[in-house]
Structure 1
């Protein structure tokens, strides 16, 4: 400590008084060491219980809309339990999307006819997906379910590539116009290479 050790009588700790202090100095190993018990009147800048009136006058700030109690239940604001909800699609829902379309590409009729079409894919109905795939238009299969050329849909990735159907000159199997061997081969080409080939 700067300036040397502080005498025990200058420390803000409790200590004996009078003859008991002399006895303490004789019996202890280090007389200048304090008891370690702080004096509450000197140790606490504000004694405990001195801010009761300030605590009573405290007004909790209200934030909108979190502080609004009307139509604001706790479960809507509890983001700790806001887990991702599992959403499942059965064959009836997928068949309804393929037949009637989605909000972006609707194929549903207007009026009562559209209501009847929706009723066919209700929650109490069971529609087979294989039957729907046989009856749906080919442009829906190749435009929405698959790619425009019938290539499989892939999830978005940082590694950008494009699926292309290999021609006969590349794979050397059969002519694409004949149905002798109806098997198509796919290859992935990088987007940069594809863009350079176009330009």
Structure 2
């Protein structure tokens, strides 16, 4: 069944089918009884308020949703935070099964001194075999181009060619 309006006269419908390139093509005009039923105007104008935290106007500021200004933020770590991370590496993990149920969970004190934690650690953080990371060396040896004219020493922003 077609949902579009056809030609009412059988004569003109047969003539259209005879002369058309694609006789099965429809007119594109929708039937009045099937188009947008029920119509949007017949429905009652009720709005259901969404019950999400994003619909709460009191604590939903625009700057928290604005992704255009989502700049990277600086992260701060205090010596307490780093001392806690270092001290946590020395703790033993809880065993699985019945042995793990009987073990007590070790807690770290809130105030940690990073110097005490480093001094009390069982192994040295760095040795001759285990060195800290070093910044890489530059692989390029830049030289001033011989084609460059000598710049005026009084120029505020001199341009230099390097190769």
TM-score, normalization: structure 2? 0.39
| Greater relative CO (CA pairs within 8 A, separation 6+) | 2
Greater share of helix:
1
TM-score, normalization: structure 1? 0.34
